[in-house]
């Protein structure tokens, strides 16, 4: 618009690589979720994802990122994000958020899921995860050419508000642009006003990642320098996808089905 691009706009070839990275992340998260069973450690969850990333010939993006020591983040119960995998033993009903990133030919994918260890948890935790996932998909639906980053935040926050009282939208952490690096401009907050913020153009890619709690929006960082926990001790959920903005609609690079948009249709719409 001003002859100068503020954000990285991808070519179709670059988005093909991001799609490949996104599918590696999707498969790694599926394996990690399957490894989230009673008696397993959070290190076991990390190993399950690491195996998929290695088998795909991809590179883990978290390992070594600002010194981060693992390939996924495993955040349990009151841990919101950036939990470091280790000897912690998981129990039935634990609410476990798993965040994973991978690189293919220099292009990044980043996604997170929340799962109940053993496939069941208390009703409030189960609902929290559902609401967070719903908020993610509302944000994704708003990620259209010509819309703004504020539209996405508004969609996320209003979905959480509509779910009822008592949910907190974590303060101080946001989604982000993604492409040749994991974290790029623009920030993609989980709150926003319609029509405000940077405008989305075809070929941009962003990671949308609501982090929602069962009480409060304040967090603390543990002495390990990484693990972010809710200040109230309430449980939290985290869902994330990497999304490409295309004229045919949001292309969810880290969802196996592309978020309902076929790869060929998405790529063709980009020219």
Which residues within the stretch 225-254 sit at the binding site for ligand MF3 (CB under 6 A)? 240
User: Residue 68 binds which entry of Co ion, ligand MF3, none, with Cβ cut-offs from 5 to 8 Å by kind?
Assistant: ligand MF3
**Residue 21 binds ligand MF3 (CB under 6 A):** no
Site string for ligand MF3, 54-93 (x = CB under 6 A): --------x--xx-x----x--------x-----------
CB 4 → ligand MF3: shortest distance, Å?
Answer: 26
CA distance 111 to 221: 21
Order across the sheet with 211-213: list the strands.
168-169, 211-213, 236-238
CA distance 14 to 10: 6
Q: Which residues bind Co ion (CB under 5 A)?
A: 110, 207
Task: Report, in angstroms and rounded to the nearest whole number, the Rg of the chain calculated over CA atoms.
Answer: 17
Closest CA to 133 of 208, 70, 73: 208
**Residue 22 binds ligand MF3 (CB under 6 A):** no
Helix (H, G, I), strand (E, B) or coil at 27: helix
Helix (H, G, I), strand (E, B) or coil at 121: coil
Which residues within the stretch 187-216 sit at the binding site for ligand MF3 (CB under 6 A)? 207, 209
Q: Which residues sit at the interface with ligand MF3, rule CB under 6 A?
A: 62, 65-66, 68, 73, 82, 99, 101, 110, 176, 207, 209, 240
């Amino acid at each position: 618009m001003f002859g100068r691009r503020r954000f990285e706009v991808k070519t179709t070839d670059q988005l093909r690589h991001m799609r490949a990275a996104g599918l590696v992340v999707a498969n790694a998260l599926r394996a990690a979720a399957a490894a989230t069973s009673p008696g397993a450690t959070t290190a076991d969850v990390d190993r399950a994802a690491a195996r998929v990333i290695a088998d795909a010939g991809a590179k883990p993006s978290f390992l070594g990122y600002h010194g981060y020591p693992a390939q996924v983040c495993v955040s349990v119960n009151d841990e919101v994000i950036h939990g470091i995998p280790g000897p912690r033993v998981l129990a039935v009903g634990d609410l476990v958020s798993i965040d994973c990133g991978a690189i293919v030919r220099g292009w990044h994918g980043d996604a997170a899921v929340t799962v109940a260890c053993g496939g069941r948890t208390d009703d409030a935790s189960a609902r929290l995860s559902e609401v967070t996932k719903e908020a993610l998909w509302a944000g994704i639906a708003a990620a259209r050419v010509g819309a703004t980053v504020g539209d996405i935040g508004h969609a996320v926050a209003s979905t959480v508000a509509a779910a009822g009282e008592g949910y907190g939208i974590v303060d101080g952490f946001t989604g982000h642009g993604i492409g040749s690096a994991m974290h790029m401009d623009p920030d993609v907050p989980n709150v926003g006003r319609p029509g405000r913020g940077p405008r989305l153009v075809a070929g941009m890619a962003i990671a949308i990642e609501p982090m929602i709690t069962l009480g409060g929006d304040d967090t603390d960082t543990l002495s390990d320098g990484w693990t972010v926990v809710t200040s109230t001790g309430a449980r939290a959920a985290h869902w994330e996808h990497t999304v490409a903005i295309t004229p045919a609609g949001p292309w969810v690079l880290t969802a196996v089905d592309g978020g309902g948009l076929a790869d060929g249709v998405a790529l063709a719409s980009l020219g």
